[in-house]
Amino acid sequence: MKDLTAAIPATDLRSAVLQHLKYSLGKDAEHATITDWRQALSFAIRDRIVDPWFASTRETYARQGKRVFYLSMEFLIGRLLEDAVVNLGLLDEAHETFEGFGLDVRTVMADEPDAALGNGGLGRLAACFLESMSTLGCPAYGYGIRYEHGLFRQGFRDGRQVEAPEDWLSELHAWEFERPEATIPVGFGGEVRELGGRMVWTPDERVIAQATDTPIIGWHGKWANTLRLWSARPETVFDLDRFNAGDYFGAAEAENTARTISRVLYPDDTTEEGKRLRLKQEFFFTAASLRDILRRFDTEYDDLSLLPSKVAIQLNDTHPAIAGPELVRLLHDERGMDLPRAIETARGCLGYTNHTLLPEALERWSEGLMGSLLPRHLQLIERIDAAHAEAHPDRRVTMLGDGDVHMGPLAFSMAHKVNGVSGLHTELMKETVFAELHRLHPERIVNQTNGVTPRRWMVSANPRLSALITEAIGIGWADDLERLAELEPMAEDAGFLERFDAIKRANKVDLAGNLAGRDLPVDPDAMFDVQIKRIHEYKRQHLNVLETIALWQEMRDDPTGDWTPRVKIFGGKAAPGYVFAKEIIHLINAVGDVINADPATNHLLRVAYPANYNVSLAERLIPAAELSQQISTAGKEASGTGNMKFALNGALTIGTLDGANVEIRELVGAENFFLFGMTASEVVARREMHDHARAAIEADPRLARALDAIRSGTFGDRFEAITENVSGQDYFLVSSDFSDYWRASREVDAAWRDRAAWNRMAVLNTARSGWFSSDRTIRGYMRDIWNAEALSIG
């Protein structure tokens, strides 16, 4: 049939917004709230996305190219409206339109709640990847879970973290298209029987996965991919018999049980019940996604051996690693492919990205749990393990051991490529967790250093800097970020440096205004020193706090000394069950309370810890930052992506040789990076040293004094857990790295006072960080892992 919708005439943005306000929202302009205006704008913008979205789908079908399916438990997207407005090139028109309504469009866009369907780095990376895949015209689908409640909202009570549920769906979410026709049953439990030579799994519990699609528009609005998120609902909505018998709660029981699966982002992992639910979540979205992928494949091809040449499935860490056995089950049990071929075919489709080497984050499921929830999968894992053992008789690793299924080795053995997320991390994967598997499969591990999308993290978050760059090197740099190198000569141009400085200053003033509104007054003339990320021992926010205390003490000793004024800005959430991380939060706030109230020093040193750090807050903090704190224990931060956002926005880094810091330093130049601390191998050696923490404290009176202040109650509580840890076992080498961190921090102070030299270094950071675009990363995945080609239209 002819495309009846193709010829619908476009309207101007102003009419479109007013039409939606009236006819979609039922509001008149006089009584519309900011939220109404924002919803109306969202609908108007969404309308502009639909045509490129359809065109992309048509092109993908027409070209029969390979499709990429990115499976991730997390998509930390943040706000969608501004991204879409910017990528469609409608920012100026939107600005004028809203001026006509007497409103500031940035305020309207900022009204959107963050979609916080992720915890941190891995989820934000997935969001940057979605945007880059659309920008590059890589035919791709993101698959995940449509959590009713995303990452909790963080508040502070008496300096301690309190968690409140997040409620992003409480108001209309304009970006989604519900797909009531796209439903897929997913089973759990039950039994496996042989029937006519085939193994048949009969689950005893079934839920329905229901799809909701969000189009993700790329830069210049040329291509849009789909993010498909699954919600769980019961097979039968309501038990009328039980209701009629007066059992009102029981009548809704099935519904509650089913809906729990997509209720909330990661239940706490510590209880057995929590673990069970997490495994159910993982299988739920993985199984639904695989069926959807095969359904689409079946509409175009009838030969399953083509699967690896048409379908690339990327596993974002091990969370969807059950995809290996599930795909084998679909091919072998359901489609009758023989087992070795089914394993080969599945492997040809699957790639696995590892995001952490921390032992506690390497997933394991007890065979008991796996066997009760996914009995057929446990059998298949045994077969996959046995096949691997047969092929490699001298192997010493197993996917099954100590009564557990090890998801890392399973993902490794079921993927044709396995990648790390920075050069260092990939090398450490080869040497540590996957040493044995790497020996058996030396071609399998590849590196793809992370990247970030410059559209969100520069064009949209830092319009002032973006305008200056465009003025200096012309348009096009956001398409090809390595063109930022053309800024290099400007680092010697005093006039340019001054304008760069003025922009940073304006961003700082904006941020100071925002912080003042949170009762966190800061002086934009002080250095803005920022550490924003999840709170974790290995990220060492407590090292930063100890340095802050020591600095404060020295300032008090000599308040008229020649100090560099600093604002120490922290942001980040701790996992609700992570007691030590919550202690660190409490310590930051307690130290801040005392230091900020000290009249002798508070014009020189302040601490600001805005609650509820999220993507939107990051978009304000990063453009205003002058110093980026990337101080993890070497060997522990797989990559980091915040570090890249800071460097691109002209902040200098103080950091260890960890994750992508190594590559940042190589690219921006060692002289434009404040390095400190032990290397990954020095860290391993130092841990062996008896009483290393005590020795470090004895050797550094500043550190000893800072710890004494905490112990003696200067900050209210005595924080024994922290002081005992860093003076005792100190696994993360906080004490041992302190002296060198102090040294580097004072070098920062000195460097900052020479404004011209500092700005020169900052410009060089921007100019030399273009490699960290997620476009470059995605091209790497397409080339080395997916073997997929970019398509383009128009």
Which residues carry out catalysis?
355, 533-534, 539, 641, 645
773 binds ligand 26Y per the rule CB under 6 A: no
Encoded tokens for 611: 């609650």
SS3 603: coil
The smaller minimum CB distance to ligand 26Y, of residues 269 and 747, is found at: 269
Nearer to ligand 26Y, 144 or 640 (CB): 640
Residue 37 or residue 613: which is nearer to ligand 26Y going by CB?
Answer: 613
Q: Which residues contact 125 (CB under 8 A, 6 or more apart)?
A: 316, 355, 421, 450, 641, 774
CB nearer ligand 26Y, residue 356 or residue 766 = 356
Q: Which candidate, 615, 136, 663, 636, places its Cα nearest to that of 448?
A: 663
- What is residue 344's three-state secondary structure? helix
Name the minimum Å distance from CB 443 to ligand 26Y: 22
* Burial 12-26, CB ≥16 within 10 A → b, else e: ebbebbbebbeeebe
Query: Is the CB of residue 784 less than 8 Å from the CB of residue 447?
Result: no
Pick between residue 190 and residue 274 the one whose CB is nearest to ligand 26Y: 274
119 binds ligand 26Y (CB under 6 A): yes
Q: How far apart are CA 160 and CA 311, in angstroms?
A: 47
- Give me the sheet containing 527-532, strands edge to edge: 605-608, 566-571, 527-532, 627-630, 652-655, 674-675
Beta-bridge partners for 211: 179, 230
Query: Segment near ligand 26Y (CB under 6 A), from 116-124, 335-343, 482-490, 673-681?
Result: 116-124
Contact string (CB under 6 A) for ligand 26Y, positions 628-657, x = contact: ---------xxxxx----------------
Q: How many residues does the chain have?
A: 794
**Is the CB of residue 554 less than 8 Å from the CB of residue 702?**
yes
How far apart, in Å, are the Cα atoms of 787 and each of 138, 226, 411, 732? Answer: 11, 20, 19, 39
Q: For ligand 26Y, which is the closer residue by CB, 547 or 637?
A: 637
Cα–Cα distance measured from residue 565 to residue 346, given in angstroms and rounded to the nearest whole number: 58
Of 42, 345, 356, 448, the residue at the interface with ligand 26Y (CB under 6 A) is 356
**Least distance from C-beta 641 to ligand 26Y, angstroms?**
5
Give min distance, CB of 39 to ligand 26Y, in A. Answer: 32
In angstroms, give the least distance from the CB of 431 to ligand 26Y. 18
Q: Does 405 bind ligand 26Y (CB under 6 A)?
A: no
HEC string for 486-553 = HHHHHHHCHHHHHHHHHHHHHHHHHHHHHHHCCCCCCCCCCEEEEEECCCCHHHCHHHHHHHHHHHHH
Q: Rounded to the nearest whole angstrom, what is the least distance from the CB of residue 103 to ligand 26Y in the complex?
A: 37
Q: Which is nearer to ligand 26Y, 125 or 526 (CB)?
A: 125
- Contact status: 72 vs ligand 26Y (CB under 6 A): no
**Cα Rg of the chain (Å, integer):** 27
Among the listed residues 52, 78, 113, 121, the single contact to ligand 26Y using CB under 6 A: 121
Question: Rounded CA gap, 156 and 154, in Å?
Answer: 7
Report residue 172: phi and psi, to 5°.
Answer: -50, 130
For residues 588 to 627, the per-residue mask of contacts with ligand 26Y, x marking binding by CB under 6 A and - elsewhere, is ----------------------------------------
Say how many residues touch ligand 26Y, by CB under 6 A: 19
Q: Does 355 bind ligand 26Y (CB under 6 A)?
A: yes
Residue 739 C-beta: closest distance to ligand 26Y, Å: 26
For residue 202, how many other CB atoms are within 10 A of its CB? Answer: 13
User: Beta strand pairing status for 527-532 and 445-447?
Assistant: unpaired
Least distance from ligand 26Y to the Cβ atom of residue 321, Å: 11
Nearer to ligand 26Y by Cβ, of 304 and 622: the residue is 622
- Cβ partners under 8 Å of residue 236, min gap 6: 254
Q: Which is nearer to ligand 26Y, 119 or 759 (CB)?
A: 119
Q: Under rule CB under 6 A, which residues in 486-545 are in contact with ligand 26Y?
A: none
Question: Out of 13, 40, 44, 125, which residue is the one contacting ligand 26Y (CB under 6 A)?
Answer: 125
Looking at 113-121, 411-419, 500-508, 510-518, which segment touches ligand 26Y (CB under 6 A)? 113-121
Q: What minimum distance in Å lies between the beta carbon of 269 and ligand 26Y?
A: 5
The reply to whether 363 sits near ligand 26Y by the rule CB under 6 A is yes
CA-nearest of 444, 437, 440, 451 to 419 is: 444
Looking at 52, 113, 120, 139, which residue binds ligand 26Y (CB under 6 A)?
Answer: 120
Contact 139, 174 (CB under 8 A): no
Beta carbon nearer to ligand 26Y, 120 or 144: 120
- Tokens representing 7? 């010829």
Q: How far is the CB of 117 from ligand 26Y (least distance, A)?
A: 13
Binding mask 659-688 for ligand 26Y (x = CB under 6 A): x-----------------------------
Minimal distance in Å, beta carbon 640 to ligand 26Y?
5
- 87, 154, 226, 450: which one binds ligand 26Y (CB under 6 A): 450
| Residue nearest ligand 26Y, CB atom distance | 121
For 590, the enclosing helix (H) or strand (E) is helix 579-596
**Contacts with ligand 26Y, residue ranges (CB under 6 A):** 119-122, 125, 269, 317, 355-356, 361, 363, 421, 450, 637-641, 659
